[in-house]
Amino acid sequence: MQVRKILEIKGQALFTIAPNQTLADAVTTMTEHDVGSLVVFDAGHMVGMLTFREVLKAVKRGGAAWGEQQVSGIMVRDPVVSAPDIEVEDLRRIMVTHHMRYLPVMDRSLLLGVISFHDVARAVLDEQSFENRMLKAYIHDLPAEANGG
């Protein structure tokens, strides 16, 4: 299965934030939409990613004034990205190797979506369930002598 297929199943809702917005703005957006990451856009280009991991680090560092910090000082700059045509196995390898729970999917300079490790796990599970159903149907439809009976 390719990354493009996961995006089709998941849908391509994107949640973004500008680098000059505050961490409080980011937390509000993330909680309102129940997402663990935001893509940071500036002048129409992706410049970074903000995940709950960076948010927690910033809260610890910022103390009582955590919410006033700008996203630009917290975000991951130039994050690793995926192409839409790579296979899920390669995507999982990238995510594990780079310790990423969220990975932007880019087609050249166009952001297509963000894939989470949860999205990958769900896609793999769905694919395995489908294959299992097909195998069971195939076995069930075999003549009795081929089934050992």
How does pLDDT run across 73-104, given as a tens digit for each residue? Answer: 999 998 999 999 999 889 989 999 999 999 99
User: What gap in Å lies between CA 27 and CA 36, rounded to an integer?
Assistant: 10
pLDDT band at residue 66 using 50, 70 and 90 as cut-offs: very high
User: What gap in Å lies between CA 58 and CA 28, rounded to an integer?
Assistant: 15
pTM given for the model: 0.77
Q: What pLDDT does residue 104 have?
A: 93
**Tokens for 128?**
């395995």
Helix (H, G, I), strand (E, B) or coil at 79: coil
CATH architecture of 3-140: Roll (3.10)
CB 74 within 8 A of CB 25: no
